[in-house]
Each structure stands twice: as C-alpha cells, then as structure tokens.
Chains A and B, each alone.
Chain A
Amino acid sequence: MSFDYDKYIRPGKLPHIWCPGCGHGIVMKGLIRAIDTLGLQKNNTAIVSGIGCASRLPGYMDFCTLHTAHGRAAAFATGVKMAKPEMNVILVGGDGDGTAIGGNHFIHACRRNIDMTYIIMNNNIYGMTGGQFSPCTPTGAKASTTVYGNPDPAFDVAKLAIGAGATFVARGTAYHATQIDKLIAEAIQHKGFSVVEILDDCPTTYGRRNKFKSVIEMMNRLKDIAVPVKAAEKMTAEQLEGKILTGVLYKEERPNYTDEYAKVIERAKK
C-alpha cells in the first residue's frame, strides 16, 4: 500500500509554489514520513519557518504553522517552545534565511540546545528573489549578483551548527530521498537542538547560471559528491577531495534549555 501523504497536507493548499525540479518537495515528503513514523500529534506540533521558497513549506502542512519574517524562525520558535515545552517544534527554511539574516538566531538556538529540530534546505542560492548569492554559494559560482564569479567563501552549515553547540547534526541530500525521513526522525527524537542540512537544488536560479544542463545533472552531482560518514572512514584525504559527508555527523547528550529552565522555576519557587 502506498504511503498516504494527504493525511498531513492541508486540503486545498496544493499545488505548491516550487518550480519543477526543485528538491523542496522531496524534503517535505521526508518530513511527513518522519512525522508519521514518530506518530507526532498535529495539534501538538508547530512547524515554523522564515522567508523564502523553502519557508513556504509550513503553509501546506496540517499542523500549527507559523510563517515568520526573514531569518526569524528560530527566535519565534524559541518563544513557542519556551511557553509550551510539551509541543514538538520543527523549523524549516533555506540557506540564505537561516545562515545570513537568521545567522544570529541560528547559532544561539544551537548554543541554548533548546529541544527543536531545524531542517535547512541548502540550495546554495536566494531562489525566491531571483538567484542572488547566499552564504552557502560556492566560491567562484555564478549568481545574479556574482556574474563574474562569487568572491565569497561559503559556510559549512553542519560545522557552523556543531561549533555553535547543536547536539545533533546530520546531512542528507535531495537525491538520497529515502534517507531524509530517517535523519529527520532521528533528529526530532534527539533531546536538544538538532540540525538537519539537506543539500538541495535550485535548477531555476542556480542550475542554469552554473552550466547544469538539466535537473538530472544537478541530482547526479548530489549523488556523486555525497559520501556516507561510515564509508568516509575508509577513504583517503585524496579520495575525499570535493566530497561532502552525509549521515549523522555529530551527536552528544547535553542538558536542553527548557529542562534547565524548569530547574530555574524549581529554584525560584523555593
């Protein structure tokens, strides 16, 4: 029997705004399967986003959904989670939204280790505004504001999250569709701030400027550069040149913020 995605989609809200060939829909399906696996209750789950193509995801989902301002998802979500720690809080958004204008909120959510899951769809570009370079656009790549090649170095989102204190960090790709739900499910189950970066594609504003002839070519690139962490252990530095590790990259147990604040309440009441 095929999986019933409609159970979690708001009636009448599809079709989505995403272009043909965009990976965001693959990530949304992965999120839905993860939610189904974990049996999360719709009324008790908030899905929060910022601004951009990826941030339109919550509107399609039949949950408590909050489409905030550009970059602010983590800060709004922190308010939701603090006020109602019993709720599951899931953040979604793109690389520009999360690591540029939202960078401060992102690293501080990591530092607090507040029990939320952040899914970053990294397509290396600001898609909704027409393809300007983001902090995740590779050096040298073309964007509408880097027609001579991008002079900026790019962020490694996973390293950024680990450095800032996130206690679960994973990476997948839009090509490896069946892995996405497993990574997201594990991230949601993790007690603390979890980050799942999904390497994604934007054929419309990134692909056509960077000599990708088709969506298939973009997807094949994701397939080619991805190396599971286990496999990478047996590979030489030379073999890993140009590759990107996928799977669970980092995991640690550390007190999470709302549990710690519950202790503050206990101490204050004494």
Chain B
Amino acid sequence: MAKKVAFLQGNEAAAQGALYAGCTFFGGYPITPSTEVAEVMSVELPKIGGKFIQMEDEIGAMASVIGASLTGAKVLTATSGPGLSLKQELIGYACIAETPCVIVNVMRGGPSTGMPTGPSQSDVMCAKWGTHGDHPAICLTPASVQELFEETVRAFNLAEKYRTPVMVMPDEIVAHMRERIVFPEPGELEVINRTAPSVAPAEYKPYDTSFGDVPPLAAFGSDYRFHVTGLNKGQDGFPTTKAAWVQAEEERQVRKVEANVDDIVQFEEYELADAEVAIVAYGSTSRSARFAVNEARKQGIKAGLFRIKTFWPFPEKQIAALAGKVKAFITPEMNLGMCTGEVKRCAEGKAAVHGIFRVDGEPINPGQILEKIKEVK
C-alpha cells in the first residue's frame, strides 16, 4: 500500500507527530508563530477522545500539561519566545518533579515581543538556561517539515523515557514552510511509553533510585497514591532539606540526561570526511549551509556541514573531534552567537570559529555563507 503523502506546514507536522506518538492532551495559549499547532490539536484530539484546553495564560498552559501528565497522559504544549519566558517557571517544576512533557517552541525574534512574524534562532540558550537552578535540558532543532514530524515523535519518546520536559524548537521558517511529507505507518517509528511501577502500591516511591536514574512513574487515579512537589525531595517524593539527599537527587536529575548523550544526541555529517572548513548549523540555516557547501565543493574548496539535530545536550564530543581535523568552523545562526559560543567552548582553540549572525528577521542565505567559506579557507 502506498504511504500517505501530504503537502504540510511545519507546525501542522509537529501536531501530527505528537498524535503519532500517542499524545492525548494539549494545553496551550495563542501565540504567533506557533498557533497552528494548537489549532490542529483542537481539531484532532477530541476525535480520538483526547483533550484540548486553551488556558488563560502561558503559565496556566504549562501547568495544565504537567497536571495531565501526572494522570498518565502524553502531553504537549506549544509556544514561542515570550511564551517560553513565561513557561520557564513550570518547566523547572517539570524538571524537578520529573514529569514528562513536550514543548514545541517556534523561534521568533526577541527579546520581549521582538519580531513576532520574523524567523530567529535566539531561544536556544533559553532552552537550557531559562529556568533557574540546575536541571537537565533536551532540545531538538529540526530543519524540515518531515523532520519536525519525526523529531516531535522522538521528543515524546525522550520525555517519557527520561521523565523530563523536552523542547522541540523549529525556527519560524521551518514551522511555517510547506513541504512534502511522507507519513510513517503506525509502528514504523519507535514509540516509547513511560515505565509503569512494578512494585505493590504500598511500596511505591516516585523517585526510587533502586530502579536506576529514571524511576518508574505511577499515575494519579490508578492504584498508586503519591506526593508531588516542586521542593527538593527525597526518593519518597516528600520535601527534604537533608543535605545528602538533596545533593544526590539534584545530581541524578542532571545525570539521567548527561550520562545518556549517546542515546539522545543526533546530528548529520555532510561532506566532512576531508573537510578543511566545517559549517556548524541547525534549523533552516543548515539548509542554506548545505547549499553553500555544494557550491564551495564545485569551486574546489573542501567544505563540509555538521548539522545539529539535538541542540541540548550539545554534541560536545563530535565538535571537539572535528576541531582536531578542520582548519576552521563557520557558525551561521539567526542570533548573535549562541551556538558559536558552544562551538568555541568545544573546540578549545584547536580551530578558529567564525560566526555569521543575523537578527534582522531575514534568513541567512547560501551566498552569505559561501562568501565566508572563501574568506576563511
């Protein structure tokens, strides 16, 4: 049987990916340029008995998805820059309470209201450092409509597998462009569900590390009763200020992601085998970069592309290894150097890092990157 093919917008693909992953609850608040995610979910969820709610504000939307997740549902919210700033309070809550949830954040200009309809990549640091305190961060930066679908499915898998919030961050170009998408058949992409407790209700502890760094999560309204708090907690879920417990729990929360980077981090290497100049790019900018690499090769310049798919955890090992091989990195991005700083950190001075930054609401075009390749080769 021929697969279902469609001409779909990025945001619509994110919503379809969520449904494929088994999402049954969406809590949101309208914000450009992410609203199509909410619109599709409002149409599709009730058809499968799922729930859509438009909350009173961004914080409320985040709260509603955490509440729903604790009943066992797979949950999604969608937002953009200013909304992401507001949601940070409860993204931190989801981190410490270890509640799976997926946040699609479409990157537009900022800070503050910025340029609501212009593309940007300036939320990538907010994905890791936006909420206060030490906490894990997973952030995916897809570059096409097809990939936005697939990475949203993967975001749900990672959220459920590691009991943590996961962000999918397309820039506005990826979110609003329309492309051909081939829908995977049910079962074709892996779908991971959270691990249910195996102990009797009386023995259940929501943060029981005897089951490893990601303890099983029970559901409200099942046979299990437990306590959830945003305070530092012990393995039983109740608040504690006991130094040894707090330290151990904080470290585990970060370790469950950091110790599994090989499972989480995905990237694409293009023409890097003999490259002397490596472009590190993500999202729509990586599409311009690929075009520039092809043009450079035609002109006999050994250029290649390292395309970041998982922005957090950052592909540190891979960039460090590349730094020992190439003469220079070029880092085009629609912000003033957020990824560039990370590449410099990983390169440790072994290769020069040249940024191309645009925050004027215009995309970085291939010509601009090609020019830089010629300059630094």
A residues in contact (CB < 8 Å) with B? 10, 13, 42-44, 46, 48, 58-59, 62-69, 72, 75-80, 82-84, 86-87, 104-105, 107-108, 261, 264-265, 267-269
Contacts and interface: CB of A to CB of B under 8 A. Distances in A.
A83 B68 contact: yes
A78 B64 contact: yes
27 contacts: A10-B227, A46-B220, A59-B238, A65-B225, A65-B227, A65-B228, A66-B228, A67-B227, A67-B229, A67-B231, A68-B230, A69-B90, A69-B93, A72-B60, A76-B67, A78-B53, A79-B27, A82-B25, A82-B51, A83-B72, A86-B221, A87-B221, A104-B60, A105-B56, A105-B60, A108-B55, A268-B46
A235 B42 CA distance: 52
Given A43-B223, A59-B227, A69-B230, A80 B67 contact: yes
A59 B229 contact: yes
A62 B228 CA distance: 12
B159 interface: no
B368 to A, nearest CB: 43
Contacts of A83: 24-25, 51, 67-68, 71-73
Interface residues of B, number: 44
Given A82-B51, A105-B56, A67 B64 contact: no
A79 B229 contact: no
A13 B238 contact: yes
B89 A69 contact: yes
Contacts of B223: 43
Contacts of B225: 42-43, 62-65
B59 interface: yes
Contacts of B270: none
Nearest to B227: A65
B59 to A, nearest CB: 7
Given A80-B220, A87-B221, A75 B226 contact: no
Interface of B is mostly: mixed
A156 B180 CA distance: 57
Contacts of B70: 66, 79-80
Given A79-B53, A80-B220, 16 more contacts: A10-B227, A43-B222, A58-B227, A64-B220, A66-B220, A69-B63, A75-B67, A76-B64, A79-B66, A79-B67, A79-B71, A80-B70, A80-B71, A82-B53, A82-B64, A83-B67
B228 A67 contact: yes
B132 interface: no
Given A43-B221, A87-B221, A108 B67 contact: no
Interface in B154-211: none
B57 interface: yes
A181 B292 CA distance: 72
Contacts of B46: 261, 264-265, 267-269
A238 to B, nearest CB: 41
Given A43-B222, A265-B46, A59 B239 contact: yes
- Max chain A Cβ within 10 angstroms of own Cβ: one of B24, B67, B72, B223: B67
Contacts of B53: 78-79, 82, 261
